[in-house]
Structure 1
Amino acid sequence: MTAGRVAGKIALVTGAARGQGRSHAVRLAEEGADVVVTDVCHDITDVLPYSLASKEQLEETVALVRATGRRCVAVQADVRSITDVRAAVDAATAEFGRLDVVVANAGVMSSGRAWELSEEEWDVVMDVNLKGVWNTARAALPGMIEAGAGGSIVMISSAAGIRGHVPYAHYVASKHGVVGLMKALSNELARYEIRVNTVHPTGVSDTGITVGVPIEELSAREPLFGLGAMNPLAPFVEPRDVSNAVLFLASDEARYVTGLQFTVDAGGTNKP
Structure 2
Amino acid sequence: MGRLDGKVAFITGAARGVGRSLAVRFAEEGADIIAVDLCAPVAGVDYHESTPDDLSETVSAVESLGRRIIASAADVRDFDGLKAALDVGVAKLGRLDIVCPNAGINTFADVADMPAQTWQNMIDVTLTGVFHTCKAALPHLAPEGAIVITNSVAGLKGAAGIAHYSAAKHGAVGFMRSLAHELADRMIRVNSVHPTGIKTDMVVNEVSYRLFVPGDPNPTPEKLAEATKGENLLPIPWVEPRDIANAALFLASNEARYITGVALPVDGGAFIL
Aligned to 1:41: 39
Aligned to 2:163: 169
Over the matched positions of the two proteins, sequence identity in percent amounts to 46
Q: Which amino acid aligns with 1:15?
A: G
The answer to whether structure 1 residue 218 and structure 2 residue 224 are counterparts is yes
Three-state SS of the structure 2 residue aligned to 1:150 is strand
TM-score of the superposition, structure 2-length normalised? 0.91
Q: CA deviation at 1:122?
A: 0.5
Q: Which runs of 5 or more structure 2 residues have no equivalent in the other structure?
A: 207-218
Q: Which runs of 5 or more structure 1 residues have no equivalent in the other structure?
A: none
Q: Which amino acid aligns with 1:141?
A: L
Q: Which amino acid aligns with 2:125?
A: V
Q: Contact 1:20–1:207 (CA<8 Å) still a contact in 2?
A: no
Q: Contact 2:106–2:202 (CA<8 Å) still a contact in 1?
A: no
Aligned to 2:150: 156
Q: CA deviation at 1:96?
A: 1.1
Q: Distance in 2 between matches of 1:243 and 1:201?
A: 11
Aligned partner (choices 265, 269, 272) of residue 270 of structure 1? 272
Q: CA deviation at 1:216?
A: 2.7
The answer to whether structure 1 residue 56 and structure 2 residue 53 are counterparts is yes
Q: CA RMSD in A?
A: 1.6
Aligned to 2:233: 232
TM-score of the superposition, structure 1-length normalised? 0.92
State which drifts further: 178-187 or 199-208: 199-208
Q: Distance in 2 between matches of 1:241 and 1:211?
A: 20
The count of aligned residue pairs is 260
Q: CA deviation at 1:208?
A: 4.1
Structure 2 CA distance for partners of 1:214 and 1:252, relative to 1, 3 Å: farther
Aligned to 1:91: 88
Residue deviations 1:59-117, cap 9 Å, x none?
11000011111111101100001012101220221111111000000000100101210
Q: Distance in 2 between matches of 1:22 and 1:84?
A: 21
The answer to whether structure 1 residue 21 and structure 2 residue 19 are counterparts is yes
Q: Contact 2:122–2:165 (CA<8 Å) still a contact in 1?
A: yes
The list of structure 1 runs, each at least 4 consecutive aligned residues, that deviate by more than 4 angstroms after superposition, is 211-215
Aligned to 1:118: 115
Q: Contact 1:129–1:175 (CA<8 Å) still a contact in 2?
A: yes
The answer to whether structure 1 residue 75 and structure 2 residue 72 are counterparts is yes
Three-state SS of the structure 1 residue aligned to 2:179 is helix
Q: Contact 2:197–2:203 (CA<8 Å) still a contact in 1?
A: no
Q: CA deviation at 1:220?
A: 5.7
Q: Contact 2:102–2:149 (CA<8 Å) still a contact in 1?
A: yes
Q: Contact 2:47–2:201 (CA<8 Å) still a contact in 1?
A: no
Q: Which amino acid aligns with 2:66?
A: G
Aligned to 1:261: 263
Q: Distance in 1 between matches of 2:186 and 2:220?
A: 45
Three-state SS of the structure 2 residue aligned to 1:189 is helix
Structure 2 CA distance for partners of 1:188 and 1:218, relative to 1, 3 Å: same
Q: Contact 1:15–1:21 (CA<8 Å) still a contact in 2?
A: yes
The answer to whether structure 1 residue 107 and structure 2 residue 104 are counterparts is yes
Q: Distance in 2 between matches of 1:204 and 1:40?
A: 20
**Any residues of structure 2 matched to 1:133-152 within 5 Å, and which?**
133-144=130-141, 147=142, 149-152=143-146
Q: Contact 1:219–1:229 (CA<8 Å) still a contact in 2?
A: no
Q: CA deviation at 1:211?
A: 6.8
Structure 2 CA distance for partners of 1:109 and 1:173, relative to 1, 3 Å: same
Q: Distance in 2 between matches of 1:88 and 1:154?
A: 19
Aligned partner (choices 7, 11, 36) of residue 9 of structure 1? 7
Q: Distance in 1 between matches of 2:264 and 2:231?
A: 18
Q: Which amino acid aligns with 1:254?
A: A
Q: Which amino acid aligns with 2:247?
A: A
